Chain A
């Protein structure tokens, strides 16, 4: 069986960044596997701009951002295979994949980096009542049809969920001549980035119905009508608030879920909240030598943060392979008051490097402080003018702060 030092699964921004960073650390025996016909992942269909401010310090479109990484992959001569689907990975770090040229192949890795991305929550998963005609798409599918295949899937559109892809598609379909009649969001606040609410909805006078959801989709061959209604604080439909829209298309932007199919097969533990793997401060999963990063670990808002995180994963995977002994004392990281989750969920307090926590708040806050506590002692704080659930926050703990920790770390948000 062929042996490779590091196998990276997924050739989107996360996979490429992880591979590049491992290469920088001196790993030459590297192989990246990508199921599509080109590298770049979902960025290739994100033709809008707004990418790259953190990583390249300029504003790029998705394909341009992807191309920068692709060019670097080629310049650094990193091996990759296209049209290659990984079917399974083992806890022993074997990887089985298939492609048209090689057929089914199993190879042995010393370390694996999972950069498998995420998928969109479907209509079925949220059980919207009604018929099942043509015209109900996740926003990303409609985006792929439009931006990659030049097919506009509808002319009169209603969007459920204010996730970023839905907002981007509201603008995109409007620009292509479709009429977007509204966006319904079940929460009392938007789930997308503020800039997208302004640039994609307000600038085009598309109404956003907060605390509303779709209660019925009707149509025989094609969607003909959607009915929305207001919901109360417990997300229960309020009778008498129904509103019908004659549309031919419903787009869903109701959440992204990390693709952990391969991770589960290898016995990696999954965080019930992020729905991605549980990782330590080296982004290593609960199976030694298997790392996870990007949207396949937890869903990010910005590709820049995906890239930065993946670079860390690549570097850690390389370092862990190169260093034979590494002192470890693992503690748990807990998402406390007001937080949905915190990553990493495990932390080595012997680490000599700063640790970046990623987290999301449960509800919007104005003027608040993020606190990192060891039991009741505050180790580190960060004040914020506002914090929104739609925007992932980051907090860095320095090595000297790490040394102060005795028990488990808790991170919480407190209003000022």
Chain B
């Protein structure tokens, strides 16, 4: 019997698993994906919004502000990337300046640093903003993180502290009994006292397995371009247009590793369809022209899209089920879900888990040891590691300078990479200019060796994405 089953290993599920692993609880996390942080958490803007934007009186307003304040310490403790880059919300005319004034008022009330800057000041900082911009609101505390690195680190620490992680396990049914549930997955079933539904885009489907859902999710697709590191100086701050009913709009975002993200658009889709579309990409280009100029489109190395699970009540839906008080819905986590995630977890644990289960802190808690990232070390330190283990000196991904041993470390970590995509997410092999064209086969060979499987069986992502078939068997 588990105390808690968490459905979903996105950023919300990872924070919950991590934070709950500090208590004497039996916890299992299921995710239908073959890696943590593999859906919405992998395809978003990666911004820790300061919290100036959500409407007063919403959970989003409270949790975004709180979450943004929690991130620096969390990222420091986990030794994951967190970078304060600051942001400008840019205005083109008097109507938009009025919106800036409203945002400024809201920021002041919330104690969030915000100040007006002239177009001249703005251009001095960001020469590539559009010429038509007449004023901007600077939000200096805006930060960026690496969402999947953060989620993976959280889950690693959770696993080190006894959480069971079951990837590639899709929940297909839930049976309710007097004081427990049976959760059925395509890999088996498990009994649990409490369920936390943090299934992202799947939250409503999970709810519908056991009750008439009290919330409704609309899938909103956002498409993005990624620019290579050669374009890293294009913008140094997040550039936002003024927010509209459609959301935060198409942005230009510096990332923690020197790439630039451009997007997203916002289209409603019928399903969790993560296609990019010609229309969508044209829209992003068109709207970008509103905020920036001289976009180095020649440096595009990838485009992607993510689905945001948007609630019908204009806010996160974080409540116990109306039928079963031991089923906790953490649903409709669209923007600013990433920025709010640590505060969502804290809120769920304090308000919703505490009344249900005794929260006894563990006697000892294991901290995660951050993996070695050669790029971050001094030459002396690098050479020390290479002397201990020469594989740290063999570069596999030459775009990102990732060594053989860093990939091996990622495979054997507590929440280890078992697929080509998972390696890419953990160590960035294949995220550079050649997009894995040069190193993918080498990465696949390392996976085959370390997992002791034939090369042809190495997965790109989920089962069904095997590399290929053995071409010929040589008779010897």
Sort A-B residue pairs by CB-CB distance and give the 5 closest, nearest first: A124-B302, A100-B390, A221-B464, A134-B460, A134-B465
Q: Does A215 contact B (CB under 8 A)?
A: yes
**Interface 0/1 of A91-117, CB less than 8 Å to B:** 000000011111110000000000000
Residue of A134, A135, A154 most packed against chain B (CB within 10 A):
A134
B394 adjacent to A119 (CB under 8 Å): no
In the assembled complex, B433 has its CB within 8 A of some CB on chain A: yes
Chain B binding surface SS class: mixed
Q: Which chain A residues (3-32) contact chain B, with CB distance < 8 Å?
A: none
Task: Tell whether A340 is near chain B: CB-to-CB under 8 Å.
Answer: no
Question: When chains A and B are docked, how far (Å) is the Cα of A102 from the Cα of B386?
Answer: 8
What's the nearest-Cβ distance from chain A to residue B470, in Å? Answer: 6
Inter-chain CA distance A220–B462, complex, in Å, is 9
A153 and B467 contacting across the interface, CB-CB below 8 Å: yes
Q: Which residues of A contact B393 (CB under 8 A)?
A: 98-104
Please give me the residue from chain A that is nearest to B460 by CB atom.
A134
Q: Which of B357-382 contact A (CB under 8 A)?
A: 379, 382
Question: In the bound complex, what is the Cα–Cα distance between A123 and B464 (angstroms)?
Answer: 21
Cβ distance B420 to chain A, nearest Cβ, rounded Å? 8
With A85-B395, A99-B393, A100-B390 given, name 14 new contacts (CB 8 A). Answer: A85-B401, A100-B386, A100-B392, A102-B393, A103-B386, A122-B434, A125-B301, A129-B277, A131-B273, A134-B459, A134-B465, A148-B441, A151-B467, A215-B278
Pick the contact of B470 from A35, A133, A151 — CB < 8 Å? A151
CB of A106 to closest CB in B, whole Å: 9
Q: How far is the CB of B404 from chain A (nearest CB, A)?
A: 8
Question: When the two chains form their complex, are residues A124 and B226 in contact, meaning their CB atoms are under 8 A apart?
Answer: yes
Contact of B465 among A129, A152, A222 (CB under 8 A): A222
CB pair B300–A85 under 8 Å, yes or no, is: no
- In the assembled complex, the Cα of A131 lies from the Cα of B341 at a distance in Å of 27
User: Are A134 and B386 in contact (CB-based, < 8 A)?
Assistant: no
**Within 8 Å of chain B (Cβ to Cβ): is A130?**
yes
Which residues of chain B are near A85, meaning CB under 8 Å? 395, 398, 401
Q: Does A132 contact B (CB under 8 A)?
A: yes
Q: How far is the CB of B290 from chain A (nearest CB, A)?
A: 20
Residues of B contacting A150 in the complex (Cβ-Cβ under 8 angstroms): 455, 470-472
> Among A137-145, A188-196, A322-330, A355-363, which stretch is in contact with chain B?
A137-145
- Cβ–Cβ contact B300 & A101, under 8 A: no
B303 at the interface (CB under 8 A from A): yes
CB contacts under 8 Å to A, within B102-154, are none
- Distance in angstroms from B101 CB to nearest chain A CB is 38
B468 lies within 8 A of A154 (CB): yes
Chain B positions within 8 Å of A87 at CB level: 401
CA distance A103 to B374 in the complex (A): 12
Q: How far is the CB of B39 from chain A (nearest CB, A)?
A: 13
With CB as the reference atom, state the residue of chain A lying closest to B472: A150
Taking CB atoms, residues of chain A closer than 8 Å to B273 are 131
A153 proximity list for chain B (CB < 8 A): 467-468
Cβ contacts under 8 Å, A221 to chain B: 460-465
Q: Which residues of A pack against B, CB within 8 Å?
A: 35, 83, 85, 87, 98-104, 119-120, 122-125, 127, 129-135, 138, 140-141, 144-146, 148-155, 176, 215-216, 218, 220-222, 237, 261, 264
Pick from A35, A129, A151: contact of B275, CB below 8 A.
A129
B456 touches A151 (CB 8 A): yes
Question: Would you give the shortest CB distance from A265 to chain B, in whole angstroms?
Answer: 11
* Nearest B-chain residue to A172, judged by Cβ: B471
- Chain A residue numbers with a CB within 8 Å of B469 are 151-152, 155
Chain B interface size, under 10 / 10 to 19 / 20 to 34 / 35 or more: 35 or more
Asked if A127 and B461 make an inter-chain contact with CB atoms under 8 angstroms apart, the answer reads no
A179 CA / B390 CA spacing, docked (Å):
43
* A104→B470 CA distance, assembly (Å): 37
The yes or no answer to B406 lying at the interface (CB within 8 A) is no
Q: How far is the CA of A132 from the CA of B276 in the complex (A)?
A: 9
- The answer on a CB contact under 8 Å between B465 and A119 is no
In the complex, the chain A residue whose C-beta lies closest to that of B393 is: A100
B204 CB-CB contact with A under 8 Å = no
Minimum CB distance partner of B392 in chain A: A100
Say yes or no: is B180 at the interface (Cβ < 8 Å to chain A): no
**B225:A127 contact, CB within 8 angstroms:** yes
Task: Find chain B residues with CB under 8 A from A218 CB.
Answer: 275
Chain A nearest CB from B119 CB (Å) reads 31
Beta-carbon contact of B382 and A35 below 8 Å: no
CA distance A122 to B436 in the complex (A): 9
- Shortest Cβ gap from B355 to chain A (Å): 40
Known: A125-B300, A154-B468. A134 touches B461 (CB 8 A): yes
Q: Which residues of B contact A151 (CB under 8 A)?
A: 455-456, 467-471
Chain B: minimal CB distance from A118 (Å): 10
- B412 within 8 Å of A (CB atoms): no
Q: Which residues of A contact B459 (CB under 8 A)?
A: 134
Interface residues of B in 210-234 (CB under 8 A from A): 225-226, 230
B301 touches A122 (CB 8 A): yes
CB distance from A148 to the nearest CB of B (A): 7
Tell whether, in the assembled complex, residue A129 and residue B435 are in contact, meaning their CB atoms are under 8 Å apart: no
Q: Is the CB of B467 within 8 A of A119?
A: no
Closest beta carbon of chain A to B31's beta carbon, Å:
15
Asked whether, in the complex, the Cβ of B230 is within 8 Å of the Cβ of A149, the reply is no
- Chain B, Cβ-Cβ closest to A87: B401
**8 A Cβ contacts from B381-414 to A:** 382-383, 386-387, 390-395, 398-399, 401
Closest to B279 in A: A129
Q: What's the least CB distance linking B399 to chain A, in Å? A: 8
Task: Say whether B468 contacts A120, CB under 8 Å.
Answer: no
Distance, CA A220 to CA B34, complexed state (A): 13
Q: Is the CB of B303 within 8 A of A127?
A: yes
B315 contacts across to A, CB distance below 8 A: none
Contact B435 A124 (CB under 8 A): yes
Interface residues as binary, B449-461 with A (CB distance below 8 Å gives 1, 0 otherwise): 0000001100111
Of B274, B301, B434, which one neighbours A131 at CB under 8 angstroms?
B274
Rounded to whole Å, the gap between the CB of B403 and the closest CB of chain A is: 8
Nearest CB of B to A82, in Å = 10
Give 1 or 0 for each of B242-257: 1 = CB within 8 Å of chain A CB: 0000000000000000
CB within 8 Å for A149 and B300 given contacts A119-B434, A264-B230: no
Indicate whether A104 sits within 8 Å of B300 (C-beta atoms), given known contacts A131-B275, A153-B468, A221-B463: no
A149 to B456, CA, bound (A): 9
Whether A127 touches B281, Cβ cut-off 8 Å, given contacts A85-B398, A120-B434, A152-B469, is yes
What residues on B are CB-neighbors of A148 within 8 Å?
A: 441
Q: Known contacts A35-B395, A100-B391, A151-B471; is A124 also within 8 Å of B301 by CB? A: yes
